[in-house]
Amino acid sequence: MYGSGGPVVSFEFFPPKTDQGVENLYATVQTLKPCRPSFVSVTYGAGGSTRDLTVELVTRIKRDLGVEAVAHLTCVGATKQEIHAVLTRLADSGIETVLALRGDPPRGEDKFVRTEGGFAYANELIGFIKREGFPFCLGAACYPEMHPEAVNADADLDNLKRKVEAGADFLITQLFFDNQDYFAFLRRARSAGIDLPITPGLMPVTNVAQIERFTKMCAARIPHELLRRLRIVEQDPAAVVATGVYWTARQARELLDRGVPGIHFYTLNKSSATLAVHAALGL
Spell 215-232 as b/e; 16+ CB within 10 A means b: beeeebebeeebbebbee
pLDDT at 47 over 60: no
pLDDT at 48 over 70: no
Res 51: pLDDT? 73
Active site residue 12: yes
pLDDT at 152 over 90: yes
pLDDT at 25 over 70: yes
Q: What is the mean pLDDT of residues 195-201?
A: 97
Residue 189 CA to residue 204 CA, distance in Å, equals 25
| Percent of the chain whose predicted confidence (pLDDT) is above 70 | 97
Helix H or strand E segment including 13? strand 8-13
| pLDDT range class, residue 114, cuts 50, 70, 90 | confident
Res 46: pLDDT? 56
Region of residue 130 (left: phi > 0; alpha: psi -120 to 50; beta: else): alpha
Which phi and psi angles does 120 have, rounded to 5°? -105, -20
Res 61: pLDDT? 94
Active-site residue, selected from the candidate residues 12, 68, 124, 145? 12
Res 108: pLDDT? 67
Res 44: pLDDT? 84
Yes or no: say if 176 and 205 are a contact pair by the CB < 8 Å rule: no
Which phi and psi angles does 236 have, rounded to 5°? -120, 100
pLDDT at 45 over 80: no
Extents of the domains making up the chain = 8-281
Res 93: pLDDT? 95
Give the domain 8-281 fold. Answer: TIM Barrel (3.20.20)
Cα 2-199-209 angle, rounded to 5 deg: 145
Res 49: pLDDT? 55
Most confident of 11-20, 215-224, 251-260: 251-260
Q: What is the mean pLDDT of residues 56-65?
A: 94
